[in-house]
Structure 1
Amino acid sequence: MDPRTSAQDVMRCDLCKTAVVEMHCDTCLVNLCKACVGEHMISDESKNHEIVRFILRKTTPIYPVCKTHVKERCEMYCKYCDIPMCVTCLASDQHLGHKLLKILQVLNEKKVTIKKEQIELNETIYPTYQDIASDVQNRMSQLEKEYGDLSTAITKHGEDWHREIDKLVKKLKAEVDEMKNTQLQTLQKHLGKIKKNISEIKNMLELINTAMESNEISKLFSITTDIDKHRNLPEKIEPSLPKFTLARMQREKLVKFFGTLSSSSLTSDKHGYSMKTTQKLPEAGSSPPVKQLLDEPETVTTISTGYNKAGPSPPVKQLLDQPKCVISAVTGYERLYYVACLRNEEIWASGNDKTMKLFSFTQRSLLKSIRTKSGNEPEGLTVTKSGDLVYIDDSDRTVNIVKNEKIEEVIRLQNWEPLGVCSTSSGDLLVVMDTYDNKQSKVVRYYGSTKKQTIQFDDEGKPLYSSSRSIFLIEYKYISENRNLDICMSDSGAKAVVVVNQAGKLRFRYTGHTPAPKNEPFRPVGIATDSESHILTADYNNDCIHIIDQDGQFLRYINCTLSNPMGLCTDTNDTMFVAQCEGKVTKIKYLQ
């Protein structure tokens, strides 16, 4: 067939370019005529040319090149080493005693496995993901509708309030008009009497004038002035105006009466979907029973961390530009301030030395000790979802993470000093910080080193957190996230636990409960939460733990012979670990 006069042509040999293709080299992927096969075979004798009929091309397996012997092809497979091998590898002692298979056998087994996975992907996984995507889109549409309904309900409620306020204004104005008319009528009657007296006095003066000017004695004797009647002046009527007392506009009460909006949340359930369905698993079967507070909290065990030991004689100290004292000023002694649960029975602890220590409650021993990168004291501890330790270096103004015992800087602040940190359920970090002049305080949410949210003021523009420190004591700020995603901070400077929702809106302030165990002022330090959304805070002054519910209602004290409690954490079993300033960590069971 002539290509110049035809719409298509047969395939030609890649070597001679004229003869029709009949053969194929699977090694070199070259099309050949029978006459050119020999020439191609001798063109590169280093290769093992696999010549097949053209219609059988790509059926010859191409064996992998040996990584050790680059000119060899691997036709065997070492099961033990999990690698292909060539004849030279086989002849060596490297794979002596190992289980060896033909690579084609391994290839066939791999094809069977991949074929099964291909079927599963096509028939199960891919359709399931499509259904899940459809489910999420449906949820988004439903969310749009429900949020629209919510906004409509709020608007309607606002209109109802406006109507009621309009009615109230109308009623009050009607009462004002009624009072005004009553008082005006009374004054009008009084004015009429006064004008009558004026008329009588005027007539009397005219008679007197006429008689005095007349020569007739009888006229003068006929005048009676009745002046005594007018010497008694009329009573003075003073109207008393009603007072309109303005009800003070208190936003918190207005919000309470009008209605409040609960915080929204996004929860994830890794078991929420199953293959071939997009139905959520029944919640009733997965909801754990509500845990109750024990009548008598139980001290399980107490370990010593090695803090509260006398240190070397302190060096001569110079006056600081910014005075800074520890909460319990005992010269030459180490103090324990922070604890964080790594896993059940294992906790990280740190104090006013330069290390962070991992302890095992099961073994009652120290597992490891890590020195801070800068050699400064760590000022806060938390553990991420992946089990990495995070600590604050306030002197260096950094937030750092410890991965495989290597310390990486995550956040560096400029004009702020970090004071506390916690890792959230979403993987964010919440960092408490003050300006270095102690005039401002805030909480910032980070994802890695990226700032996502700042929480500093309430709806009236007032600071949420205390911003000044005593010249005698550091005002500690510990932070934790509750299960309902509220952000809970113990603000010892304000003598309060300040709780805001996920959006940063103030929910409540807890300022302690009376009577306190030692009748000392409430001084909250360490803070933690549990699976029941209880908020637990250590009270340094009263040697106890306060337990409040998620709405700020006091539930109980836990004493358990604690002494100067500082740091606080809970594990997944809702067991509490309390760091006492003098160096002990006490494990307490308080829930059934």
Structure 2
Amino acid sequence: MMALSESQIPPDAQHYLVCGTEDCERNCQFYCNDCHQPMCEQCRDEHQKNKKTKIHEVVPYKLRKRQLPVEKCKIHKKEIDLLCGECQIPICSKCTGTKEHRGHWFTNLEIVFAEKVSIYNKEIANIRSYFEPTSKDLKKEIAGDVTKIKKTMEDIRTSMKAEAESVKKLVDTVTSDKIEQVDKIEQSLLQTLNGQNQGIDDYINYLNGLVKTFYGYLSPSDINNLTFALKSEKILIKPIPETSKPVPPVFTAGQYSKEDVAKLLGRITVPNTKPENRKIKPMETASTQLKPTGKQRKQDREKSDVKQTLSLSSSVTKVREYTVPGVYDVFHISLGKSGRLWVSDYGGILVQTDLQGNQLQKIQTNGGSDGYHTVTQDGDLIYTDKQNKVINRITPDNTITEFIKTGNWRPLSIHSSQINGDILVGMQTDEEAKVTRYNKAGTEIQSIQRDNKGQPLYKYPHYITENINGDVCVSDYNNDAVVVVDKSGQHRFSYTGQRSRITPYGICTDVLGHILVCDDISKSVHLLDQDGQFLSLLFTEQHGVDHPFSVCVDDENNLWVGQYTTDTVKVYKYLQ
């Protein structure tokens, strides 16, 4: 088995290095600076006993000297192995006697290279452990400020609308009062006119009575009428009653402008205050998580070997790969029965294929970059619809039915327990998040939201799985952590990375109780034991894995890996 080259090992990797001696597959612990070869403990002892190599400098692997690239001087055709201290250029040994470098001082290029490598590794470690996570913290703080600003502005809009509504009600009240005043004036004027009209009617009746009397005088049929008419004196007719024309009210329109109305309402002011700079924590206070020692990892593996016939392999080997038609990338994988594979991409396209790459079904969902689908013990696929806040079921005959309604909670991630068939769902509102457990029938039986101190456990639980001991393992994107609780909901631990923080995505467990979680920062898969102790990074550049975002383990203990840069699913053997 070939040893890993220097370029294939990231500076913060925790992968098991392999001895460089031919036909030796033991783990590398030492390094020969003369041969530039990694060695295990046994090969080191043999190397130091050999007469030809016993004077070689063998050191612990971390203290090794870096091998220089082999390059020959263009003038003297000798290997370049020195650095001119005056000119600061690499040269060969013959160049030291030339006119250009006469009187200059020289040093071993390998030593200088080793010093530079050490400096660069420290800077890389600083970037990973401080600058990058601190920058991410600032991004989160900015995102929090964006949320606050949006809420503040929405509150202002609500207040303005409420104030405007209040002014509208006052305008309606004043208008109603004035209309009532007009009604009263109208009633008074009409009453006066009606009185005058009645007076005229009475006067006309009076005149008609006089006319009738006078006609009786003109045609006397009775001697008495004649006698009365001869005796009557001058007749006086009552004068016509006086009437007057009404004086109607006059409406004078109010004088107002847009500015007058604006004065009635509140105003918006932007404080003339200089924005306060965000605080950046000093580098020396950046916290790092202690890694377990090699002895601790060895003890953990030995305990696992006692319980199981399987153990971790010293290397990761690709078994096969599949191209999934219809998706652009692979953000989540669910393995079904009879060799069926469900894959979803960033755009929410959910595709079912067989292992020959034939597309069997394609659905457009809104699951996006979350672990939103899982295969049940019965072989059905269930998936979340966070927009409509439901969980749907797809039966083997491709019928889609609504299975569970989640109320006000948006379901993000889902996992069907292989222990008892329970359904675990990571969900969220705008203010909080939780994990809910349902039984097979879809009845809620448990809610996990806070730790024993009352603090929230989750922020964005976008991938979820269950371990062999019943632990619920959640990949929480906004917490930059894997949050693990036991089956009763008690918080056990949170894994936040090794030398630097993680950005966790897909998560799964295996038959040994290992937790495997994809990390976008290291572009690898972190392998943890059942108690959250870091064991190794499973992949380096040599494996051809770039940005793994989804993982799952099949019945043959193979690890399936999906990436967001390709539509190919790769299968690896990591247990033996």
Taking structure 2 as the reference length, the TM-score comes to 0.43
**Greater length-normalized contact order (CA 8 Å, ≥ 6 residues apart):** 2
